[in-house]
Amino acid sequence: MPTDIQQLFQQHSRSRGNLISIVLPVYNEQECLPEVVKELTTYFADCQPHYRFEMTFVDDRSTDGSFALLKEMSKNTPANVKLSALRLAKNSGSHIAITAGLNISRGDYTIIMASDGQDPAEVIGELILHWEKGNDMVFAAREKNLDHGFIDNLFSYLAWKVMIWSTKVPMPSKGCDMLGMDRKVLDAFNRMDERNTTFIFGIFSLGFKKKEITYIKRDRIAGKSKWNFFRKVAILLNAITGYSSRPLKLITNFGLFVFIVLMLRWLWVIIRIYVFDIPPTDLTILLNTIFTSLGLVILLLGFIGDYIWRILDETRKRPLYEFSEVEGEIFDQK
Tens of pLDDT, residues 20-72:
999 999 898 888 899 999 999 999 999 999 999 999 898 888 888 888 898 88
CATH architecture of 15-243: Alpha-Beta Complex (3.90)
- The pLDDT tens digits of the residues spanning 255-311 come to 778 778 877 877 877 787 777 777 777 777 777 777 777 777 877 777 777 677 667
Q: Does residue 74 have a pLDDT over 70?
A: yes
Pairs from 269-275 (Cβ < 8 Å, separation ≥ 24): none
Give the per-residue pLDDT at 42: 93
> What pairing do the DSSP bridges indicate for beta strands 210-217 and 52-59?
unpaired
Return the beta strands (E) in the chain as ranges: 19-26, 52-59, 81-87, 109-112, 137-145, 178-182, 210-217
Q: Does residue 329 have a pLDDT over 70?
A: no
Q: Does residue 15 have a pLDDT over 70?
A: no
Spatial distance between the Cα atoms of 99 and 87, rounded to a whole number of angstroms: 13
CB 44 within 8 A of CB 78: yes
Average pLDDT of the chain is 77
Please, which residues bridge with residue 184 across strands? none
Query: How many other CB atoms sit within 10 Å of the CB of residue 98?
Result: 20
- Phi-psi domain of 319 (left: phi exceeds 0; alpha: psi -120 through 50; beta: other): beta
Cα 301 from chain centre: 28
Confidence at 152, pLDDT banded by 50, 70, 90: low
Give the per-residue pLDDT at 51: 92
Does the pTM surpass 0.85? The reply is no
Give the per-residue pLDDT at 189: 85
Give the per-residue pLDDT at 251: 75
Q: Which residues contact 81 (CB under 8 A, 6 or more apart)?
A: 40, 41, 44, 45, 52, 53, 55
